[in-house]
């Protein structure tokens, strides 16, 4: 099996992920990792390749922060502007939230609303209170939580982590039952506003291109003013197996090596399977209640 080593949570590491790649790789080779390839990416906003290693490109969803008004009037689509106004009109209040037990209880309720999200199993579903609290508390010294409230009840939230001059979202989620109130659009709007007030240069919301041209999350990001920025990712072979794997592109995930038509069908089948599983689980729950 091919082993690929990377820096844990590299996108959240402040400063250079790897300041001296050659020295770092030399150290990795003398550890017990037994890795075949080491990979790392450059940090935004630097997007021009600095090194001559095997280079590929990470797709990032980015809003360059100038001002809230510029984002709202020129970047956000018309339907997004309507959605933000609708959220406010229907009584959704978006504000900075205190990370306390009441907030964590609200997060648990949101997580437990559905076992699936975006056509796949939702890995936060039915986690314990303590697990959710511990996982949400990571990078607390650089994090802020932004909550969307309806009748004083948390119905959505964003966790934003500051990484040098940029901000990254770790969680962006709202309750499905309140979709009509557009809390997620309102959360993005407040996040952009807070970035401007904090003097941050960019807001990053995960990857932009997922490999699926019809991906609803990619479309959501586009309409909310995010653009695709390609960031250099380097791959350095540590062993002969690693060199062979890079030569034949065997380091890539299977989905990246399959034709687009095949992956589209596989995603469709996965979505149908998880949907059927969720409906079956809901029916079993109703039977127990009866």
Q: What is the pLDDT of residues 226-262, one digit of tens each?
A: 999 999 999 999 999 999 999 999 988 644 444 455 4
CA distance 247 to 85: 52
Q: Give residue 265's pLDDT band: very low, low, confident or very high (50, 70, 90).
A: low
Instruction: Supply the pLDDT for residue 252.
Output: 83
pLDDT at 273 over 60: no
Task: Say what the pLDDT of residue 23 is.
Answer: 95
Tokens representing 242 are: 């690693």
Mapped onto helix, strand or coil, the DSSP state of residue 146 is: strand
Three-class DSSP category at 213: coil
Percent of the residues in the chain that have a pLDDT greater than 70, as a whole number: 86
Give the strand pairing for 120-121 and 4-6: unpaired
Q: What is the pLDDT of residue 64?
A: 98
pLDDT given for residue 118 in this prediction: 79
Which superfamily does 66-200 belong to? Answer: Gcn5-related N-acetyltransferase (GNAT) (3.40.630.30)
- Residue 270 sits at φ, ψ, to 5 deg, of -60, -45
What's the pTM value of the predicted model, to 2 decimals? 0.87
Q: Which residue has the tokens 């479309």?
A: 219
Which helix (H) or strand (E) segment is 131 a member of?
A: helix 129-136
pLDDT, residue 262, reads: 44
pLDDT of residue 267 exceeding 80, the answer is no
137-155, pLDDT tens digit by residue?
Answer: 999 999 999 999 999 999 9
Domain ranges across the chain? 4-58+231-262, 66-200, 263-290
**Mean of pLDDT values over 19-28:** 93
Q: Quickly state the pLDDT bin for 214 (edges 50, 70, 90).
A: confident
Structure tokens at 181: 């109130």
Instruction: Say what the pLDDT of residue 268 is.
Output: 57
Does position 188 have pLDDT exceeding 70, yes or no? Answer: yes
Q: Which of 38-52, 197-211, 273-287 has the lowest mean pLDDT?
A: 273-287
Provide mean pLDDT across the span 206-215.
80
pLDDT grade for 201, boundaries at 50, 70 and 90: very high
Query: 211 pLDDT band (50/70/90 cuts)?
Result: low
The tens digit of pLDDT for each residue in 81-133 reads: 999 999 999 999 999 999 999 999 999 999 999 999 877 889 999 999 999 99
C-alpha span between 43 and 56 (Å, rounded): 14
């Amino acid at each position: 099996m091919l082993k690929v080593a990377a820096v844990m949570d590299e996108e959240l590491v402040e400063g250079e992920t790897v300041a001296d790649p050659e020295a770092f790789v030399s150290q990795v080779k003398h550890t017990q990792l037994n890795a075949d390839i080491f990979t790392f990416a450059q940090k935004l906003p630097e997007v021009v390749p600095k090194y001559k290693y095997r280079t590929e490109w990470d797709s990032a969803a980015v809003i360059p922060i100038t001002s809230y008004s510029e984002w709202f009037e020129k970047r956000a689509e018309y339907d997004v502007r309507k959605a933000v106004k609708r959220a406010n009109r229907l009584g959704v209040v978006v504000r900075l939230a205190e990370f306390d037990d009441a907030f964590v209880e609200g997060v648990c309720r949101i997580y437990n609303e559905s076992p699936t999200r975006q056509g796949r199993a939702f890995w936060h579903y039915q986690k314990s209170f303590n697990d959710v609290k511990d996982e949400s508390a990571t990078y607390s010294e650089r994090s802020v939580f932004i909550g969307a409230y309806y009748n004083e009840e948390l119905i959505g939230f964003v966790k934003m982590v500051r990484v040098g001059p940029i901000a990254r979202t770790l969680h962006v989620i709202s309750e499905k039952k309140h979709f009509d109130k557009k809390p997620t659009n309102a959360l993005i709007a407040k996040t952009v506003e807070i970035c401007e007030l904090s003097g941050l240069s960019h807001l990053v919301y995960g990857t932009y291109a997922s490999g699926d041209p019809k991906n609803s999350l990619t479309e959501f990001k586009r309409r909310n003013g995010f653009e695709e920025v390609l960031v250099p990712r380097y791959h350095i072979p540590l062993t002969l197996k690693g060199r062979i794997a890079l030569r034949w592109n065997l380091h890539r995930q299977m989905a990246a090596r399959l034709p687009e038509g095949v992956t589209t069908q596989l995603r469709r089948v996965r979505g149908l399977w998880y949907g059927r599983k969720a409906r079956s689980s809901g029916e079993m729950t109703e039977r127990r209640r009866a």
